[in-house]
Amino acid sequence: MSEEKKKKHVPPPRPKNDSLKADPHPGTHVGRLIAVVSGKGGVGKSSVTAMSAVWARRQGYQTAILDADVTGPSMPRMFGLSYADLRADEEGNMHPAETVTGIKVMSMNLMMKQEDAPVIWRGPVISGVLKQFWSEVVWGNVDYMFVDMPPGTGDVPLTVFQSLPVDGIIVVTTPQDLVSMIVGKAVGMARLMNVPILGMIENMSYVTCPHCGEPIYLFGQGRAEAIAEREGVPLIARIPMDPALTAACDNGQAEYAECAFLDGLADILPPLS
Ligand code: ADP
């Protein structure tokens, strides 16, 4: 999308109907809350959430991640965090775990001693836990909090949109994903909930030729632009398929990975008030 179009995109203000909103803990002060969504699983939504937080932290912002993917939590693994990193104070308040560079993280897997123990709960229980992550955890001062949403348009995304003061969403897709109507569903849900759509990120967009460095668009080029145009939202970034990123995210090293491909976030993140 052209520079001119990017600048013209002004997300609408936060909706006025706040009756279902959950209050944060008095010790929590969050500047902006950004939800990262996808139409389906496996497109790299969690990796993009993690790398967005890494990017924001590198810009000097106080940054946090609320892992709302309660049944498939991957944030602790990406940052090398575990049960032992969660803290409680003398009054019994829970504090998020902190990564090496100071990104605050709250996730269901930080509450489980065994990383691969399944969470087999019905939607309302999961939604309750999520509200507790927001209301009962002492997050302290945070400039940007990123919420890793579960994929799709089910119960938990609905809870997040209704209970948390989401300032906007970022939609993650892959080139294969774009041919379907699935991106449209995720975007449509946000629109129905009056949540501003900040932009789209195309993940696994291309591979870089190891010999000449040229991008190879395995699934075709230009679809992301077309969808972004159709939905009237900016295309924030195109992320290549990179084995170094897989290794970093899957081995607790997300903080040390390259993330300049997300520089477009600077244009769309709502300013701090
Ligand atoms: P989702 O949250 O959408 O289910 P994940 O972020 O867990 O997806 O990503 C699924 C897998 O793909 C992970 O192993 C992750 O490391 C890998 N992955 C995601 N994005 C990329 C990328 N751009 N290049 C290489 N591997 C990636």
What domain range includes position 178? 25-266
Count up the domains in the chain and report the number.
1
Considering the entire predicted model, what is its pTM?
Answer: 0.91
Report how far ligand 1's centroid is from the alpha carbon of 92 (Å).
35
Check pLDDT > 90 for residue 221: no
Mean pLDDT of 179-204: 86
Neighbours of 254 (CB within 10 A): 25
Whole-number Å distance between alpha carbons of 97 and 84:
9
- CATH assignment of the domain containing 174: 3.40.50.300
**Predicted local confidence at residue 41, as pLDDT:** 87
Q: Is residue 127 in some structural domain? A: yes
Ligand 1 cavity residues, CB under 6 Å: 38, 41-47, 74, 203-204, 239, 241-242, 245-246, 249-250
Nearest protein Cα to ligand 1, atom 26: 246
238 pLDDT tier (thresholds 50, 70, 90): very high
Q: Is residue 58 in some structural domain? A: yes
Q: Return the closest-CA partner of residue 61 out of 148, 146, 172.
A: 146
Q: Is residue 55 in some structural domain? A: yes
Q: Is residue 10 in some structural domain? A: no
| Burial classification of residue 94, based on how many CB atoms lie within 10 Å of its CB (0-12 exposed, 13-18 middle, 19 or more buried) | middle
Q: Is residue 119 in some structural domain? A: yes
Q: Is residue 34 in some structural domain? A: yes
Check pLDDT > 60 for residue 157: yes
